Structure 1
Amino acid sequence: MLFWSDRCLHGCSIEALAPAVFACIAPRIRKTRTMAEALNNEVWLQDIRNGGGLSWHGIRGFLRLWDCIRNISLADQEDRHIWQLDDSGCYSSKSAYKAYFNGSIIF
């Protein structure tokens, strides 16, 4: 999971939560920084410093971001992918096909 680009904070991306902070991050870092790397020793703070200064709106966004991130702790286990379109949580072409046509009208 990528820290700067995925929707990892209460279903929001950092770009949506703090756009001025996001704009200060170098594109290369946005595309590569994982959640684990960012939270380890608070490396995400260094990403902002390397990206440039923050405006007043950026500081407000930073404080909002800090509030969201400060209580996150990652488990020592690997991430698990869960397919939301099936009760079992496992992907199947049948469940994808069924979801694709969900709500369609049969003549």
Structure 2
Amino acid sequence: MVVSSKKIARNSSQFWQGFQKAKDWYHFGRIIHVGDGRTVRFWSDVWVGDCSLKILFPRLFNICSDQLVSVSEVAARGWCPCFRRNLGELEAGDWSNLQAIIGCQSLSEQQDRVLWQFEPKGFYSVRSLYRFIVDPGCRD
């Protein structure tokens, strides 16, 4: 299973390389429950469905003016992220599909929550991550 397609520079320290790999696994195992949307990245985090919006809509992601925008910032603009240019025909179709996904979303006053899917109580543990990497079918 490939967790990330990002390449880690060969001249990086072993610590940094290991950290980057662990970060990718952490992102794979977390579940985000959106509250106020302030800490959730609109394009990069998996907050609706099973995949990030940048993966589902790469054409839109490539032309958005702020790829790190939060969910709360997009919601404040009427669920309309800013783009660097007008949408073409294919992008307009993607935009319609994106609107269908995010159009019914609403935010709350509560803070965003991150849960760990490999632990029954939702708290991250190195043990559960290790068990998942070694034996993906085994959960506590």
TM-score range normalised by the length of the shorter chain: 0.7 to 0.9
Alpha-carbon separation, structure 1, partners of 2:44 and 2:125: 27
Scaled by the length of structure 1, the TM-score of the pair is 0.76
Choose the corresponding residue for 1:25, options 43, 61, 64: 64
**Does residue 53 in structure 1 map to residue 108 in structure 2?**
no
Asked if the contact 2:44–2:52 (Cα under 8 Å) also holds between the matched residues in 1, the reply is yes
Gaps (5+ residues) in structure 2?
Answer: 1-39
The alignment of Structure 1 onto Structure 2 pairs a total of residues equal to: 97
Say if 1:99 and 1:15 are closer, same or farther in 2 by CA, change over 3 A. Answer: closer
Scaled by the length of structure 2, the TM-score of the pair is 0.60
Alpha-carbon separation, structure 2, partners of 1:90 and 1:13: 22
Using CA pairs below 8 Å that are at least 6 residues apart, which structure has the higher relative contact order?
A: 2
Residue identity over aligned pairs, in percent, reads 26
Q: Give 1 or 2 for the bigger CA radius of gyration.
A: 1
Say if 1:37 and 1:95 are closer, same or farther in 2 by CA, change over 3 A. Answer: same
Say if 1:93 and 1:9 are closer, same or farther in 2 by CA, change over 3 A. Answer: closer
Could you list the per-position Cα deviations for residues 69-106 of structure 1 after superposition, in whole angstroms to 9, with x for gaps in the alignment? 11100121011221111112112233233323326xxx
* CA-CA distance at 1:22 after TM superposition: 1.8
**Which consecutive segments of 4 or more residues in structure 1 shift more than 6 A?**
none
Gaps (5+ residues) in structure 1?
Answer: none
Asked if the contact 1:24–1:52 (Cα under 8 Å) also holds between the matched residues in 2, the reply is yes
**Does residue 4 in structure 1 map to residue 43 in structure 2?**
yes
Alpha-carbon separation, structure 2, partners of 1:97 and 1:12: 23
Asked if the contact 1:2–1:34 (Cα under 8 Å) also holds between the matched residues in 2, the reply is yes
Give 2:121's aligned residue: 88
Q: What pairs up with 1:41-80 in 2 under 5 angstroms?
A: 41-42=77-78, 44-45=80-81, 47-48=82-83, 51-80=84-113
Greater helix share, structure number: 1
* CA-CA distance at 1:43 after TM superposition: 5.8
